[in-house]
Amino acid sequence: MLYLLFKFLLSGAIVVGVTLFAQIHPKWGGVVAVAPIISTLAIIFLSQETTAMEVQKVIAYSVCYMLPTTIFLVLMYLLLDRYGLPMSMFGSYLVWIVMILVMQKGLEISNWMS
């Protein structure tokens, strides 16, 4: 239980730190925001709790799902001035969810990593 609390606190501290850093230096805040910090933590935690093969699967799927996340960020950038944060976020997440579902179906059909 203490280990789970540690994971939550560490991850939350990173998110808060990135947010504060981005307010001071937007350019470098963007770099840090997309840095594989959370992925690295997840890989470290997973490697302690499961097999190397399972960790490799998580990494491979993470690579596959980077495309929808990239499109999400581009949409947010393009829509933000015109529609404001709530509508831009809603539209971007809607497109992201559809892309995730399409990719998931495609990966199931191709029987990739089964």
What band does 91 get if pLDDT is binned at 50, 70 and 90?
A: very high
Pairwise CA distance, residues 18 & 38, whole Å = 11
Tell me, yes or no, if the pTM score tops 0.85: no
The answer to whether 103 and 68 are in contact (CB under 8 A) is yes
Average pLDDT in the 45-60 region?
Answer: 92
* Maximum pairwise Cα distance, the chain: 47
Pairwise CA distance, residues 88 & 97, whole Å = 14
Our CA dihedral for 86, 88, 89, 92, rounded to 10 degrees, sits at: 160
Relative orientation angle of helices 66-110 and 52-64, to the nearest 10 degrees: 110
Q: Under 8 Å CB-to-CB from 73, ≥6 apart: which residues? A: 34, 92
Pairwise CA distance, residues 73 & 63, whole Å = 16
Residues 66-86 have pLDDT tens digits of 999 999 999 999 999 999 999
